[in-house]
Structure formats: C-alpha cells, structure tokens
Amino acid sequence: MKKMFLIALVFTFGLGAKAQEKPHIYNPNADAGAEITAAVKQAAKQHKNVLLQIGGNWCSWCIKFNNQVTADSALNTYMNQSYVVLHVNYSQENTNDAVMTNLGYPQRFGFPVFIVLDDKGNRLHTQNSEYLEEGKGYSKDKILGFFKAWSPGALDPKNYNKIK
C-alpha cells in the first residue's frame, strides 16, 4: 500500500511540476535586431507587414494574447496572411535596449506592446495592448480591427476611391 501511495505521490508531483512550466514564446537569447531584419526581408518577399509582439515569458497578458490569436482561427488566419509575426523578448535576462531605442521605447506602454513595420522596416504604428482588452481578456473584434487597420491592404492607396 505504501508503494502505491508513493507512486501516486510522485505522479501527482510530476503533473504539478509540468503544469507550472513557463511557456517559451519569447527567446531571451535571440538577437532581436537580426531577427527583425530577417522578418522585414521575409515581409518584402511575401508582400506583408511585420508584427512585433514585444513582451516576455514572465508576462501573463503576453501569453494570454498569444494563446487567443493562435487558438482563434479567424484571428490566426488574418494575422498570418497579413503579417510576418515575431516575438521580441523584454525580460530581466535581455531587455534588448538597442532594439527598444530604435523602436521609440515601446516598453513605456507596458506589455505586451505591438509594433507594426512595413516591408522596408519603417515603423508604422505602436499599439498599446490596453486598447485591445475587454473584461479580463482581449476582445476578438478589437484585435481583428487592429490587424485590419495596419495590414498592407489598408495602407495601399489603390484601395481608396479618389475624390474628384
């Protein structure tokens, strides 16, 4: 009986330890500058913009946002059709100071914070994630509105009627 209890205890402890593992969406060891350069090149080839999701594995709201947009097929599809997505780390291990400076200090808005770059690497928009929240989470409609507002198609003058 003691043996069964010990096995159950070890199994339960193992599940609890596994459940407390931190997600690894952000890589503190990544060279964010090089990754952004590569994302811009990819965006140029694919006629997309770049969406930088800045945050860290320590940030519950960062994880919550990522989980929502990857689990929701409409959000995930639109995001991936319009953007090259890159998670840029900001943590105690690596604050990516040079990148944050080049991006206009987006960390001032808290986390996550989103930067939209065009296919040449120009910063088009900095999005405070607070404006995408609703209740105790994020609003699908607000997220989709943000994605649509800064997509390449929304910024293409050919998509607007000219006033005569």
pLDDT digit of tens for each residue in the chain (164 aa)? 445 444 444 444 454 444 456 679 999 999 999 999 999 999 999 999 999 999 999 999 999 999 999 999 999 999 999 999 999 999 999 999 999 999 999 999 999 999 999 999 999 999 999 999 999 999 999 999 999 999 999 999 888 876 65
Stated pTM of the model: 0.85
- Give the pLDDT confidence score for residue 22 in this predicted structure: 67
Alpha carbon 95 to chain centroid distance? 16
- Give the pLDDT confidence score for residue 9 in this predicted structure: 43
Query: Is beta strand 133-134 parallel, antiparallel or unpaired with respect to 123-128?
Result: unpaired
Q: CATH number of the domain at 22-151, out of 3.90.1150.10, 3.40.30.10, 2.40.50.140, 3.40.640.10?
A: 3.40.30.10
At 145, which amino acid appears?
G
For 152-156, the CB contacts below 8 A with 24+ separation are: 152/47, 152/48, 152/49, 152/82, 152/118, 152/119, 153/82, 155/49, 155/118, 155/124
- Give the pLDDT confidence score for residue 164 in this predicted structure: 56
141 Cβ contact partners less than 8 Å away, ≥ 6 residues apart:
none
Q: Using an 8 Å Cβ cutoff, are 44 and 120 in contact?
A: yes
Q: Pseudo-torsion of CA 55, 57, 62, 63, nearest 10°?
A: 160
Q: Which two tokens stand for residue 8?
A: 């159950």
